[in-house]
Structures are given as structure tokens and as C-alpha cells.
Structure 1
Amino acid sequence: MQIQDKPPFDTPFEWIGGEAKVHALTERFYDLMDLEPAYAALRAVHGPSLDNARQRLFWFLCGWLGGPQHYTERFGHPMLRARHLPFPIGIKERDQWLACMDQAMHETGVPEDLRTRLA
């Protein structure tokens, strides 16, 4: 990394705008998943309610982005692979998750430079 490549903030959490912006991003992500037919396979994996998933992703993203470790304080290490093994996640669901998150980041105003770094 070159000096001129240094991000404008110490952590992506600060760069994105803190907890309020992470919460807005998480809410938009699940709203899109619930509303957009393009994310139907992804939505189907989540069951009837998205409330639990919304809260846990918010907690996870805060820590993953370099902010408060809400998720690990409650549940320990995320162990993402192990926690997702019971669910039928294939290439279609993976691609829909990434597309939905990218759309949510765009719609909630996550800076383009940060979106590129997170992709």
C-alpha cells in the first residue's frame, strides 16, 4: 500500500459513519431482500421473519468493520462457515447476497472508495 492509498479513516466503521450508518445499511439490505424479486432465493433461506437476522448482521458488521464488537460479546467468535452450514447456500444465494449488499451500500450512500475496498 502506498501512502497516497491510505483510507481517510482508521477503520471502515469510522469511514462508513458509525453505528447509525451500519444500522441503516443493515435495514436497507434486509428491506431489499424482502422486496426485490431478484433476491428471492436469498430471501427463501431466511425463513418467515428477518428480525433476528437484521439484529445479528448489524452486530456482526459493526465488529467486522472495526467498530464495537457487539456480536462477539454476545456469541463469541462468529465462525461464519459453521453458523451457516445448516442453510442451503449455493452460488445463487451467494451472488444474490453480494448484489443485495452492493445495492444497499449504494442506496445508503456508502462512499464508492469504501465499497470498492469491501468488495
Structure 2
Amino acid sequence: MTETSLYDRIGGAPTIDALVDSFYARMDQLAEARTIRAMHPQDLAPLGQVLKDYLSEWLGGPALFSPVRGHPRMRQRHMRVAIDSAARDAWLLCMRGALAETVADEAARQAIDEAMARLADWMRNVPDEQPAENTISQN
């Protein structure tokens, strides 16, 4: 018996697309996300595609990220960006809202949220008193 991936449980690529689009829309719209929005380039479309590719693979779907970009090394890729607890919380606020909007399977949504919360916490790389002033690239 094979276990169904989270990717398949949530509806595959269409749900990943909607999730990422909702995430970045929230980043643009929410005052609480202003700080993390400033870390990103004006045009979010290229980063959106990178995130879609990453989430596809991370959730057990097609490997779209690694063949093009290599091992994710997420923390290493973000080390040039100062990420404190406030940035983590803003990111999670946007992602949790997007998950609630796009993922109907409550158990899958909770599993993804828990894994993302651990990942977001692990991404913190500066003490909370240091401001986040760098920008994220598309790499």
C-alpha cells in the first residue's frame, strides 16, 4: 500500500499555483507583511515560479526545483537576508492565510502548516533586535 503525497492530497499543481498566488497577494496587501515584502523584488512572478517549483517537490510532487537549481539549501540561500522572528511571523501569517484559502483537506493543511512553521523557524538567522534590510534574489 502506497501513501498518497501531500501534493496529491491537496490537488497537485493547480492548488500549488493558487497557494503561491494567494501567498504573494497577501504579502502585497497585509500591513503586517510590509517588512518581508520589502525584502523581495518588485516583480514577484519569477520568485513565485521558484516557490511553486519548490513546493511541488517539497510536498511530494514532481521534482521541478532540484533539477534546475540543485539541492534546495533553503537556509543557505536565504543567509543574505536578515530573518528574525518578526519576519518569520509575517511570512507565516501570509502562508497560513493562503493555506486556509486554498487547501480544503484540513489534515493536509495542518500537516503542511506544521512543517512550514518548523522550516520558517529554522530560517531565522539574526537576533530579533537586528532589522531585516536585504532583498531576496531569484536564485
Question: Could you state the TM-score of these two structures normalised by the residue count of structure 2?
Answer: 0.76
**Residue of 20, 23, 29 corresponding to 2:23:** 29
The structure with the greater share of residues assigned to helix is 1
Moved over 4 A (4+): none
CA positional deviation for 1:109: 3.5
Q: 1:44 aligns with which of 38, 43, 57?
A: 38
Could you report, residue by residue, the CA deviation over 1:44-72 in whole angstroms, capped at 9, with x for unpaired residues?
Answer: 11132212210100000000000011010
For residues 92 and 50 of structure 1, the distance between their equivalents in structure 2, rounded to whole angstroms, comes to 21
Give the corresponding residue for 1:57: 51
The answer to whether the aligner puts 1:117 opposite 2:111 as a matched pair is yes
In the alignment, the residues of structure 2 paired with residue 70 and residue 90 of structure 1 have an alpha-carbon distance, to the nearest angstrom, of: 29
1:83 aligns with 2:74: no
Contact 2:103 2:109 in 1 (8 A): no
| CA-based RMSD | 1.2
Count residues with an aligned counterpart. 111
Deviation at 1:110, TM superposition (A): 3.5
Q: Which structure 2 residue ranges, 5 or more long, are not aligned? A: 115-139
Task: Determine if contact 2:7/2:60 at 8 Å carries over to the other structure.
Answer: yes
